[in-house]
Amino acid sequence: MSLKLRLVLIPSIILTLGLAAAIALELAWAPERVRAEVGTGMELGRILVIAAVADASALGSPAAALQRLEIELPKVRHVTFRIATGSQMIAAGEVPALDIAHAPVPAWFVHLLDPRPRIELFPIVVRGVGVGQVEMLSNPLNEIAEVWKELVRLCLILIAASGAIVGLILWTVQRALRPIGDLQRGFDRLEHGDYGVRLKPIRVPELARIGEQFNSLACSLAQVTDDNHRLIDALINLQETERKEIAYELHDEVGPVLFGIRAEAASILGICGRDAAHLASIAERTEAIGRLADGMQRTNARILARLRPLALDSLGLAEALRELVAGWQEQCPEIAFSVRADEIKLDDAAAELALYRVVQECLTNAARHAGAHRIEVCLKRADGGKGAINLLVQDDGRGLPAGLRFGFGLMGMSERVRALHGRLAIGKAPLGGAEIAVTIPLAAAAMA
Ligand SMILES: Nc1ncnc2c1ncn2[C@@H]1O[C@H](COP(=O)(O)OP(=O)(O)O)[C@@H](O)[C@H]1O
Ligand SMILES: [Mg+2]
């Protein structure tokens, strides 16, 4: 059952039950009310009719007495008087039926209240002779008509109030649920990749925050998607650049060396074809081949070092970082580099490489963007080595720009840290410049 239907149905049922209870209450005390009203009328009628009969009887003539009574018979609510003589007189114990057919109330309602008609007879006696009787008959029909009218009025008021309440609830619910429909449509569009969708401010206070959060979520998704696109572009470009650089190295460095080796070898062969007097020349050429091979080895080492820091495997993370920092110190003597690294050996070689690359990028950034005079690298076990390691790189440079946007470096860094289930915090360093803090949780087994 829909929420809207439930919100309307529940109060409707309660109001209907209330209406039924009000009608039942009214009906429950209606007979008592009719009886009391009629009883009061009968009592008053009795007093008045006794006085009137006594008055009339004192006249001494039956005709005069009856005439006087015709004039003086009292008019009392819920009571009907009749003067009867001779055969018109109702016998004692006989009760005439009520004239329901002409009552201004439905007959079933009169039967429901079940009013018992009552009759009282007052004999008219003149000079000791009975000349007739005054019959006092209870008439509850007009009281019942009043009860009926009140009941109808009560029902109309309650039905109108219930209709108004249900209508108001329906209107409020519809108004409150409209933003949920907007939210649903918004999520549908997000699901289909339309991150430009934004919701208008929601005026229902309980939902206003959700609307704001939806917009901020859409904004973040748009940003993340944008960043992802840029990251992929940067990755492709970087790969191309790397390939180009390796191709240049091979072409410029390895190519000439190989050409030289071939030339020297050909030259040796030529010399060998002549005579032994050329032995010195052969030695010279062989030395040249050795030099060329050395050159090629250095080139090879440089290419390999760029593709993969070999020091990491042979010396461990701490020593590889020291070597890395030493390389930077050589390149930038005007900056004071310092490195403090605990001897940490991680089973996971990928984690070591990731930390190494993070430091590499931090140093590149600090040297490129910060204009720093001091750069500090610190790698240590967190909390006495309880399965986490902390890396901190800080500088005293100009600090991060306001509205920092991640470039490929920071994005790659955060991706690497995320892949290791770690945390990356970028902020202001105590030294004054930028600070990159990385925490990587590691199972104890992953650390030696
Ligand atoms: N140590 C730093 N000091 C000042 N600004 C920095 C530092 N590191 C990064 N930044 C800022 O962060 C931006 C993004 O860095 P990064 O993601 O590495 O991309 P890139 O180095 O290619 O610009 C940089 O352009 C720079 O403005
Ligand atoms: Mg960078």
Same-domain check for residues 339 and 282 = no
| Residues 321 and 266 both lie in one domain | no
**Residue 448 pLDDT > 50:** no
Decide whether any atom of ligand 1 lies within 6 Å of the 434 Cβ. yes
Q: Is 370 in the pocket of ligand 1 (CB under 6 A)?
A: yes
Q: What are the backbone dihedrals phi and psi of residue 441, each rounded to the nearest 5 degrees, phi first?
A: -80, 130
> Whole-angstrom Cα distance, residue 382 to residue 10?
59
Mean pLDDT computed over 106-118:
83
Query: Which residue has the least CA distance to atom 25 on ligand 1?
Result: 407
Name the closest-CA residue to atom 11, ligand 1.
400
**Pair 33, 158 in one domain:** yes
The last residue of a domain, from among 290, 324, 352: 290
Domain assignment present for 351:
yes
Which long-range contacts link 194-198 to residues 24+ away (Cβ below 8 Å)? 195/221, 195/222, 195/225, 196/222
User: 186 in a domain, yes or no?
Assistant: no
Closest ligand 1 atom to residue 397 Cα is 3
Q: Is 54 in the pocket of ligand 1 (CB under 6 A)?
A: no
**Does the beta carbon of 365 lie inside 6 Å of ligand 1?**
yes
Residue with CA at minimum distance from ligand 1 atom 23:
407
pLDDT of residue 432: 93
Does residue 264 share a domain with residue 326? no
Cα-to-centroid distance, 421 and ligand 1 (Å): 23
User: Ligand 1 within 6 A of 309 CB?
Assistant: no
For residue 328, the domain's CATH number is 3.30.565.10
Could you say which of 143, 166, 189 is where a domain stops? 166
Closest to 147 (Cα-Cα) out of 263, 246, 25, 253: 25
Mean pLDDT, residues 423-434:
94
- 246 vs 307: CA distance, rounded Å: 10
Give yes or no for residue 410 CB within 6 A of ligand 1.
Answer: yes
Q: What is the DSSP letter of 444?
A: G
Shared domain check, 154 and 254:
no
Residues 339 and 216 in one domain: no
Domain count of the chain? 3
Q: Is 394 in the pocket of ligand 1 (CB under 6 A)?
A: no
Q: Which of 282, 283, 289 is nearest to 263 (CA)?
A: 289
**Residue 85: strand, helix, or coil:** coil
Following DSSP, what letter does each residue of 258-295 receive, concatenated? HHHHHHHHHHHHHHHTS-GGGHHHHHHHHHHHHHHHHH
Whether residue 413 sits in one domain with residue 350: yes
Task: Choose one of 235, 335, 357, 410 to mutate for the ligand 1 pocket test, by most ligand atoms within 8 angstroms of C-beta.
Answer: 410
- Whether residue 109 contacts residue 148, with contact meaning beta carbons closer than 8 Å, is answered with yes
pLDDT of 186-224, one tens digit each? 999 999 999 999 999 988 888 889 999 999 999 999 998
Ligand 1 atom nearest to 408, measured from its CA: 17
User: Structural domain of residue 442, as residue ranges?
Assistant: 311-446
Q: Is residue 181 part of a domain?
A: no
Determine, yes or no, domain membership for 185: no
Judged against a pLDDT cut of 80, whether residue 436 lies above it is answered with yes
Question: Domain check: are 162 and 223 in the same one?
Answer: no
Q: How far apart are CA 208 and CA 214, in angstroms?
A: 10
Find the mean pLDDT for residues 171-181.
86
Q: Which of 136, 124, 133, 134 is nearest to 41 (CA)?
A: 136
- Ligand 1 atom with the shortest distance to the CA of 412: 17
For residues 161 and 196, give the distance between their C-alpha atoms in angstroms, rounded to a whole number: 46
45 lines ligand 1 (CB under 6 A): no
Asked if residue 445 has pLDDT above 60, the reply is no
pLDDT tens digits for 331-351? 899 999 999 999 888 878 888
326 Cβ contact partners less than 8 Å away, ≥ 6 residues apart: 337
Residues 315 and 286 in one domain: no
Spatial neighbors of 375 by CB under 8 A, at least 6 apart, are 328, 335, 336, 337, 338, 363, 366, 367, 393, 394, 395
Domain-located, residue 89: yes
Reply yes or no on whether the pLDDT at 160 is more than 80: yes
Out of 332, 361, 364, 365, give the residue to mutate to test ligand 1, the one with the largest number of ligand atoms within 8 Å of its CB: 365
User: Is the shortest distance between the CB of 407 and ligand 1 below 6 Å?
Assistant: yes
Residues 157 and 212 in one domain: no
Sheet strands (E) in 360-414: 374-381, 388-395
Cβ-proximal residues to 17 (8 Å cutoff; 6+ apart), any chain: none
Which ligand 1 atom is at minimum distance from the Cα of 361?
A: 18
> Within a domain: residue 326?
yes
Q: Mark whether 322 and 426 lie in a shared domain.
A: yes
Task: Among 363, 369, 411, name the best residue to mutate to test ligand 1's pocket (greatest count of ligand atoms within 8 A of Cβ).
Answer: 369
Looking at residue 346, the DSSP 8-state letter turns out to be B
CA 44-50-52 angle, to 5 degrees, is 100
- What totals of helices (H) and strands (E) does the chain contain, helices first? 11, 8
Separation CA 3–CA 308 (nearest Å):
61
Neighbours of ion ligand 2 (CB under 5 A): 365, 409
pLDDT in tens, 370-419: 999 999 999 998 866 567 899 999 999 999 999 888 888 898 888 888 88
Per the domain annotation, does 188 fall within a domain?
no
Burial group, residue 283, by CB count within 10 angstroms (0-12, 13-18, 19+) = exposed
Q: Is 138 helix (H, G, I), strand (E, B) or coil?
A: strand
**Domain check: are 331 and 407 in the same one?**
yes
Whether residue 41 is contained in a domain is answered as yes
Cα separation, 396 vs 435, in Å, equals 9
Q: How far apart are CA 119 and CA 198, in angstroms?
A: 83
Q: Which ligand is nearest to the CA of 434?
A: 1
pLDDT tens-digit series, residues 227-286: 888 888 888 888 888 888 888 888 888 888 889 888 988 888 888 877 767 788 888 888
